Amino acid sequence: MNPIATMLDPKYTRRLFIGIGVLIALALAYRFLYPIIFDAYVGKTNAPLTYDTSKRLTDVEFEALAQSLSEDARRLKAEAVVAVDQNPFAREVKIEMLMNTESFIRDSEPRHIKYFREAGIRQYEGPKTCLTCHATLEVDHPDGTRSTVNTLDDLVNSVHFKFQTMAGGFSTYGYDGRQVNAGPHKIPVGKIDRACGIPGSFTWTGWAALISSHPEHGSNGEVVLRSEGCGQCHIGGNYQPATEKMMPVGDVPDMAKEGIDCLICHAAHYDMNQRVVIRDEYGLRWNQDRSLRAALTVAPISSETCLRCHQHNMGGDAYAHNDAAQALGYQHQRLLHRGAKRGNPFSPADDAHAAAGIQCTDCHRPEGHKIPRGRLGVDLVANDLPDKTVSCETCHGRAPHNASENKALLNGHIARLACETCHIPRLEDNNVVLRDWVHPTWDAEEGIWEPTDVYRSGEPGKGFTYLWFNGNGTFLANALGNNPNGSDTYDPLMQQIARIDDSEVIAAVRAKATELKQQYPAIDIERYVQMATDPLSQLSPELLEQRRAMIQANLRTAMNDGKSRIYPFKLFNAMMYEDMSNQGPFGAMILPFDYNIYYETGDTAASVKRAIQDPIVQRMYQEPFKRYMMDEFMAYFGVSGGWKTIYPLVNDQLVNVEPHWMRQMGTLMVNHGIQRQGHDCAACHAPNGIMDFKLLGYTAERIAELQDPALLRKPSVTTLTTAAPESVAP
């Protein structure tokens, strides 16, 4: 029987129809049922999103707005043109003329005015409006090729939206010695699933919160609502991060994609006062500026647009030139975080590149919506383009020093020192090094309980340190590298970043502990200081021994890999509650805080209890989640035997949960806040310089050479013989 005849046989036709039916049913189930089941499983909400800021304008209103925006832009440009002309009066006259010059009007008008006018767009409705014209996008690749991508897909699959990636290419090594996601079992890694001691929470548990604050200056007991949470920066305007993207199949629902905030990056004028938490019938989420005004100012990306979010983790919220921090909201004002995450601002006042008008994307050159962080990654943050270089050398070349008499010698240092090492002489003073989440402090002005910043400093050796770095990092953000002499004494995980020896820092920690003891009498000051400054003292002798062995056996290869140079690294450690069932030699799984309870009551244990009742944290302690990613996660974390699914909350009591400092400090790369005038030679090449050459793995002989100031600054022989040394000697 031939195959066609077989297929026509009624018996087979029946089977064929059943087969096709099953396939269609599966496809439909995947399309419609899977998202519902998944959201139910992780306990997340998706709902159609609306924003009050999105208003429809009449044609007349549109034209009035267009005219005002056009004039603003024109005046700004005219002022720039005449900036150096004669006197103020002359400048005013010229500005007036330019304001009425036909070509000037045409060339300065924000381009989207014309586009929107012609397309009849009178309301900005989020991505839908943008995609009317920008459904696809031309992407230029470094190899000179060009591709066309679907704009929405491109964005939804970028780290800016997902906050994680399952792709390989991480320069991160687990404490078990394996490169993260290099093997067949890939897990989502990035900010989405990594609790961190700086924000004190996960993105899941700390996405959006409305805090009832009780500022003392307010009229008798008035409650002021404040906005807080990770979602203030991370794009995607729904009720939680894009959890669906953590699975190998499925996608975020279309209604969630409607919440993407295109304008926060693409509009030249975006009202950050709209960026506050709002409550609707489904829950809490972050509001956006969806005004037509913002949409009409869409222009090429600039530093200003990036810094709306990114100044937060560079200069910090308290940084004087953080523009976004000046627009906290018309209502539900965002809470400011006073301890800076890095304290290396990017602004004309404090960075040579910003001052020169260099834009973020000049160095971080995007490919579509994928933006490179550079190939050196220490902090396990997901990277869209892990192979794309972002470096000083790209522009400055091999011999950047031209002005100094010692230019050749300065250039000579580049083989061993990163540019940042000299050219970031210090960080902001409010750079936080040690943050205690377990013993919060009452902030009377804000009327909230805040984590206590036990130590802040922007000084070299205190707020940040110098380490060898070859581009690799550990799973808990510790820079890896080694002295090119192949030293086996360089061991930052047992030394530099595992203990604080500086007596001034220790004294400051002790002072803070004494202060905290008034609020928390149970604090044993000596033990407190020891735990904060010698976190390894929290490990049992067995774990300490295991730690030493693991560093030698698992990390040395990654440390000796490639070419290391000395880089500056901001140091950070936090005291948080840890799930001690999942402890290893490098730390235990830290537990997140619920922002509301934390800020409002200062009851830290209650705050943790609430946060870990979040459905997705409960799922974490179940078998499927364990199998899917937590076992692998823990292996990278340096914990053998897999993830223990012993849920740490029993009968509303925390079980096997202890407050601890992570067993070493994290090291965050600092690359901005570049000063033209770097460190002086003598900053390092002197006894007690800012660099500890011994800990950096140099031999005693070489240290003597490196620290010998006489070799650096000895007056020349001619000076000596003519200037009669006896007369100048002390």
Partner 1 sequence: MHNRLTKRASGWLAGAVLLSALLGTSSTSTAAIHGQLGTDNSDCLRCHRMETLAYRDPQSGELVDLHVNGEQFGHSAHAEVPCIDCHQGDFGQYPHPAAALAQRLDCVGCHEDQPDAHERAYRFQTIEQEFARSIHATSDSPKVKGFNCHHCHDPHTFRNSAIGQPIAEIVRSDNQLCLSCHSKIREPYSTAHLWLPKRDKHWQAVRCLECHTPLTDLGQPVSHQLLAGKDSNFDCVNCHSQEQRLLQRLYQYRSATDLENSGWLSKAILNQSYVVGMSRSPLLDALGLGVMGLTLCVLIAHGWGRYRAYRRFRQHQLEQ
Q: Which residues bind partner 1 (CB under 8 A)?
A: 397-399, 401-402, 404-409, 411-416, 677-682, 705, 709-717, 719-720, 725, 728-730
**80 versus 403: smaller Cβ distance to partner 1:** 403
Question: How far apart are alpha carbons 507 and 673 in whole angstroms?
Answer: 28
Q: What is the nearest approach in angstroms of partner 1 to the Cβ of residue 692?
A: 20
Q: What is the nearest approach in angstroms of partner 1 to the Cβ of residue 143?
A: 12
Taking every pair of Cα atoms in the chain, the longest distance, rounded to a whole number of angstroms, is 117
**245 versus 685: smaller Cβ distance to partner 1:** 685
**88 versus 397: smaller Cβ distance to partner 1:** 397
Q: What is the nearest approach in angstroms of partner 1 to the Cβ of residue 718?
A: 9
Q: What is the nearest approach in angstroms of partner 1 to the Cβ of residue 431?
A: 22
Three-state DSSP at 352 gives helix
Q: What is the nearest approach in angstroms of partner 1 to the Cβ of residue 483?
A: 15
Q: What is the nearest approach in angstroms of partner 1 to the Cβ of residue 482?
A: 17
Question: How far apart are alpha carbons 417 and 410 in whole angstroms?
Answer: 10
546's enclosing H/E stretch is helix 541-550
Tell me the three-class secondary structure of 9-78, residue by residue: CHHHHHHHHHHHHHHHHHHHHHHHHHHHHHHHHHCCCCCCCCCCCCCCCCHHHHHHHHHHHHHHHHHHHH
**60 versus 700: smaller Cβ distance to partner 1:** 700
Question: How far apart are alpha carbons 608 and 347 in whole angstroms?
Answer: 37
Q: Classify residue 99 as exposed, middle or buried by CB count within 10 Å of its CB (0-12, 13-18, 19+).
A: middle
Q: Write the Ramachandran bin of 92: left for phi over 0, alpha for psi from -120 to 50, otherwise beta.
A: alpha
**300 versus 397: smaller Cβ distance to partner 1:** 397
Question: How far apart are alpha carbons 638 and 459 in whole angstroms?
Answer: 31
**11 versus 398: smaller Cβ distance to partner 1:** 398
Question: How far apart are alpha carbons 302 and 357 in whole angstroms?
Answer: 10
**184 versus 486: smaller Cβ distance to partner 1:** 486
Residues 6+ apart with CB under 8 A from 207: 229, 230, 231, 239, 240, 241, 284
**13 versus 719: smaller Cβ distance to partner 1:** 719
Q: What is the nearest approach in angstroms of partner 1 to the Cβ of residue 671?
A: 19
DSSP state for residue 371 in the 8-state scheme = -
DSSP state for residue 520 in the 8-state scheme = -
**700 versus 710: smaller Cβ distance to partner 1:** 710
Question: How far apart are alpha carbons 492 and 197 in whole angstroms?
Answer: 20
The answer to whether 380 and 475 have CB atoms below 8 angstroms apart is: yes
Residues 6+ apart with CB under 8 A from 144: none
Q: Write the Ramachandran bin of 84: left for phi over 0, alpha for psi from -120 to 50, otherwise beta.
A: alpha
Residue 367 burial (CB count, 10 A) = 18
Question: How far apart are alpha carbons 713 and 15 in whole angstroms?
Answer: 91
Report CA-CA distances (Å) from 537 to 497, 517, 534: 13, 21, 6
Q: What is the nearest approach in angstroms of partner 1 to the Cβ of residue 682?
A: 6
**80 versus 729: smaller Cβ distance to partner 1:** 729
Tell me the three-class secondary structure of 576-641, residue by residue: EEEEEEEEECCEEEECCCCHHHHHHHCCHHHHHHHHHCCHHHHHHCCHHHHHHHHHHHHHHHCCCC
**98 versus 674: smaller Cβ distance to partner 1:** 674
**249 versus 724: smaller Cβ distance to partner 1:** 724
**27 versus 399: smaller Cβ distance to partner 1:** 399
**447 versus 461: smaller Cβ distance to partner 1:** 461
Q: What is the nearest approach in angstroms of partner 1 to the Cβ of residue 676?
A: 11
The answer to whether 539 and 547 have CB atoms below 8 angstroms apart is: yes
Residues 6+ apart with CB under 8 A from 276: 227, 286, 287, 328, 329, 330, 331, 332, 333, 334
**357 versus 709: smaller Cβ distance to partner 1:** 709
Q: What is the nearest approach in angstroms of partner 1 to the Cβ of residue 442?
A: 40
**471 versus 638: smaller Cβ distance to partner 1:** 471
Parallel, antiparallel or unpaired: strands 432-443 and 448-456: antiparallel
Q: What is the nearest approach in angstroms of partner 1 to the Cβ of residue 730?
A: 4
Residues 6+ apart with CB under 8 A from 329: 227, 272, 273, 274, 275, 276
**23 versus 415: smaller Cβ distance to partner 1:** 415
Q: What is the nearest approach in angstroms of partner 1 to the Cβ of residue 704?
A: 13
Q: What is the nearest approach in angstroms of partner 1 to the Cβ of residue 564?
A: 13
Question: How far apart are alpha carbons 572 and 664 in whole angstroms?
Answer: 9
Angle between helix 525-533 and 503-519 (nearest 10): 130
HSE at residue 462, side-chain half, CA atoms within 13 A, is 22
Q: What is the nearest approach in angstroms of partner 1 to the Cβ of residue 678?
A: 7
Q: What is the nearest approach in angstroms of partner 1 to the Cβ of residue 364?
A: 25
Q: What is the nearest approach in angstroms of partner 1 to the Cβ of residue 355?
A: 19
Q: What is the nearest approach in angstroms of partner 1 to the Cβ of residue 485?
A: 13
Tell me the backbone φ, ψ of residue 592, rounded to 5 degrees: -80, 165
